[in-house]
Structure 1
C-alpha cells in the first residue's frame, strides 16, 4: 500500500516478522496464559469435593426400600388354644342307702384312707358304719389319645354318669371329696375352693352335697378335719 512520506523523513524499511517454532494443528489456537492466571491456578487449588458438589455427584441417589410383601389374611381363622386336663380316677362308696361318697383317688400314696372314711361316717351317723366296697371310675372312660380331654368334656361325661347312677339308686346326700370329685359335678359358676366345707343344693341331681378335701389331703393336713367335723354335725342335725 503506498504511503506518503513527509519531507525530510527517512526512507521507510520493511521489518521482518519473527517466526515461531511451535506448530499448531489446523483450527487450534494457543490460548494465551498470563503469569497471573498460572499463579492463581497453583496457589488456589480447587478441592475435589467442591468439584463433585458442583457436579452433584457426591450425593448417592436415594433408592426406595423394598416394601414388605403384604400377606392376604382373608380366609385365615385363628384357632383358639384348648386346655386339656390329665387323666384321673375317682373312688366311689355307698356306705348307706342315702349316701354316695366320691373321692379323688391317689393310688401313689399308701395311706389309711378307708379308716379315715369310717371315722367320717361315724361322725355323720353317730354309730360305726362300714364303708362297703370301693368302686373306681376312671376318666377318660376310653383310653384313646384322640378323645377330647377338656374341662367341659370331663364335666359333661361325669354329670351324665352321676345322673344315670342316681336314677338307678337315688340318694339324698353326696360327699364330694377333693378337686376332681367336686369340680365337675358343681355348676360351672361354682368353684371347688369357694365351695369347700359348705353344703350345696345340687338341683340338677335333686340332692345335697358336702364339698370337702380328699381323704389323702385330710391325712396330710389333719388341721382341716375340724372344719369338716363341724359341717358334718350341722348336716347330721338337719337330716
Structure 2
C-alpha cells in the first residue's frame, strides 16, 4: 500500500459532520476518497480556508461516487448545481483552482465558515504520481495503512506528498491561474509547515528535494532556474515502488 496516505476521522471538531458522512457513503460504494485542497492544507497547518469539501477519487469511481451523492441521504442535504459550466465551484473560466469532475451544493449552510459545496477531483488530475487508489482503500478497518484514529474514514496525503503534488501541478499548469494558485500555496509550506517540523524533505524524491531547497531558500535567480528545471524534468511519473 502507498505509505504516503493515512486515515483520519473528521467530525464536529473540524466543523462539519457532513465530511464524515460523505466519506462513509463513498466507502460503502467501494470508492476511496482522499482529502484535497483547502481542508487538506489546513490539516497540515496552512492557514487557508474555502468553505467547500474537496475530495480526490479514482477516475474509474467517478460514476459510482456521483450516483452515491445524488441518491444518498445527507444532513444537511446535497443539491445538484443548476449550471456547472458557469458555476465557480464547477468549470467556470474564472475559477482559479482545477476544474471539478463533479460537484454538488450543500443546502441550508448559514453558519459562518460552514461548508457549502462538495467537489470531486479525479486522481489523474491531482495525485497521478501515486499508485492507483484501489477499492481496498475504501475499507479502513481492513486496510493495513497507518491511521490516526480507530474509526477513521478519510484518507489524507502526508505533507511530503502534498508538497510534491503542489510542485508537479505548478509545473504542469505553469502560466495559468491554476498554476499561480499552486505557487501561492506552495510558498506557505516553508512558512507554516516546515517551520513547525512537520515536513521531512528527505522523504521527497531526490529531484524534488533538491528543487524544493532551491525554490524556498535560494536567490530569485535560483528560484527561476529551479522552476525551469522542474518543468523540464517532470516527464513520466516515478516508479511506484518509491511510494510503497
**TM-based fold match above 0.5:** no
Please identify which structure carries the higher helix content.
Answer: 2
The structure, 1 or 2, with the larger RCO (C-alpha pairs under 8 Å, 6+ apart) is: 2
TM-score by length of 2: 0.23
Which protein has the larger Cα radius of gyration, Structure 1 or Structure 2?
1
Q: TM-score, normalised by structure 1?
A: 0.23
